Amino acid sequence: MPDGKIASPRSELVELGVAVPGDGAPDEMIVLDTLAGVSYVYDESGQSIELELPNSSRLARDLDGGAGGEVVNAESGTGVVLNYTAYASAGYDIPDVRAASDGGSLSLDARAFSRFGTLRQTGIIGTTTFSDFTALRLDTTWTYSDQNSMRSYHLGDIVSGGLNWTRPIRLGGAQVRRNFDLRPDLLTMPLPLIEGSAEVPSTLKVFIGGVQAYSSDVQPGPFRIDSLPVYTRSGTARVVLTDATGREIETEQEFYSSPDLLKQHLYDFSIEAGVVRRDFGNESFGYDDSPVGLASLRYGINDIVTGEAHVEASSSLIDVGVGALVSGGPLGLFSAAVAGSLHEGDAGVFIHAGWEGQFGNFGATVATSRTFGDFNDLAAVTERPSGGKKFEGGVPRALDQVSLNYS
């Protein structure tokens, strides 16, 4: 440079592993004297520069923890499958020395599949002491799945998707939803990020629950390991660095991971439209007349926060809600949601909050929900008591849940 100072393009410094502040263009010239902690020696005869920099000025080297796997392309076939479950019961009258049948039933699950999708039919046939032979249709559904887009399409009898704080309903109609099961290699939840720094070339090992989860050789400088496979929601990762002399440096990092969280920029959704299914299990073709629609969305804002949204609508109802899941690290997972509804002029509000955590072998989940005003959802406004029995399907005004587990 004219003033005798030495500069280098930002892109070249990044390739060398130098942490350059700011977000300039790759060809931006960076004066070496402006880099904190960086010293250099210029060899004029050899036209080379030797850089010396502390770990704080180095870019962390990303290491792959090895979770996930290779993409396996699904192959379609053609065929027919019939699953069945048979049940029968009988009684014996000792005084009359006479046996009598109490009835029996046969549950059927038939599927025909090809590259065009899968057609599934379920039903029950049988008799009891209170009724003659009956045949009851349960579900008739066509399903097509696209592995590339990770979407499944359903047409026929469906169950709506939803979130932890919403209520699903049965419909006759269409559904399109995200299906992560089509990509078992894909990691949908954020996994622990292990960070550290090596002063000299070393062997890095990571232990989780006393079991080695990762091993690799590392060069001097900071490093971070993502996609580290873990098999518990919470725990402690023990990081061991061993240099050429056998000297070991150990550090520990606590973590908490939850499958309810989504990785950054990953999203999950479900959209349904149709008519409400009524008296499922009692009638073969019990459907409402008025169309309804539902949609749910989950989005990984970052690896700590997952946003949620849900909407339900019919000719007389609109119900909209938003929520969030927030990782508290070793403190567990926190959740909150709020929704509002308007049904035939009556408005109401729904509030939900929850927490889950695991400490060693003990786990706990706490959740609470409250409604204010006249809050409704589709499950409430489409209920219909049957058989003359009183049935209340409205949203509970207050619901508190606590669960404990040991594993």
pLDDT tens digits for 139-149?
999 999 999 99
- What is the model's pLDDT at position 140? 97
pLDDT band at 4 (very low <50, low <70, confident <90, very high): low
Q: Which of 1-10, 110-119, 181-190, 397-406 has the highest mean pLDDT?
A: 110-119
CB half-sphere exposure, 56, CA atoms < 13 A: 4
Given a cut of 80, whether residue 240 has pLDDT beyond it is yes
Nearest-angstrom CA–CA distance, 279 and 285: 9
In Å, what is the CA distance from 133 to each residue of 82, 123, 125, 126, 200?
21, 14, 7, 6, 80
Average confidence (pLDDT) over 195-210: 87
Q: Which amino acid is at 172?
A: G
Nearest-angstrom CA–CA distance, 332 and 35: 39
- What is the model's pLDDT at position 369? 96
Average confidence (pLDDT) over 160-186: 94
Q: Which residue matches tokens 């039903």?
A: 123
**Residue closest to 377 by CA, chosen among 162, 177, 175:** 162
- What is the model's pLDDT at position 66? 66
pLDDT digits 0-9 by tens, 34-46: 777 777 777 777 7
- Name which of 12-26, 190-204, 271-285, 361-375 the model is least confident about: 12-26
| Class for the domain spanning 191-256 | mainly beta
Burial annotation 84-121 (CB, 10 A radius, 16+ → b, else e): eeeeeeeeeeeeeeeeeeeeebebbeebebeeebbbbb
Burial annotation 287-307 (CB, 10 A radius, 16+ → b, else e): bbeeebbbbbbbbbeebeebe
- What is the model's pLDDT at position 68? 61
Average confidence (pLDDT) over 178-201: 88
Burial annotation 197-210 (CB, 10 A radius, 16+ → b, else e): bbeeebebbbbbee
For 46, residues 6+ apart whose C-beta sits below 8 A from its C-beta are none
- What is the model's pLDDT at position 392? 59
pLDDT digits 0-9 by tens, 43-74: 777 777 777 777 777 777 777 766 666 677 88
Given a cut of 80, whether residue 350 has pLDDT beyond it is yes
- What is the model's pLDDT at position 360? 78
Given a cut of 60, whether residue 391 has pLDDT beyond it is no
Supply the Cα-derived Rg of the chain in whole angstroms: 30
Q: Which residue has the higher pLDDT, 298 or 196?
A: 298
Given a cut of 80, whether residue 387 has pLDDT beyond it is no
Number of residues assigned to the chain: 407
Q: Which residue matches tokens 């065929």?
A: 79
Burial annotation 44-77 (CB, 10 A radius, 16+ → b, else e): eeeeeeebebebebbeebebebeeeeeeeeeeee
Nearest-angstrom CA–CA distance, 157 and 138: 8
Percent of the chain with pLDDT over 90: 50
pLDDT band at 365 (very low <50, low <70, confident <90, very high): very high
Nearest-angstrom CA–CA distance, 20 and 28: 11
Element spanning 153, H or E = strand 151-159
The 3 state secondary structure assigned to 198-265 is ECCCEEEEEEECCEEEEEEEECCEEEEEECCCCCCCEEEEEEEEEECCCCEEEEEEEEECCCCCCCCC
Q: Which amino acid is at 178?
A: R
- What is the model's pLDDT at position 99? 56
Given a cut of 90, whether residue 152 has pLDDT beyond it is yes
- Rounded to the nearest 10 degrees, how much is the dihedral formed by the CA atoms of 339, 343, 346, 352? -20
- What is the model's pLDDT at position 219? 85
For 44, residues 6+ apart whose C-beta sits below 8 A from its C-beta are none
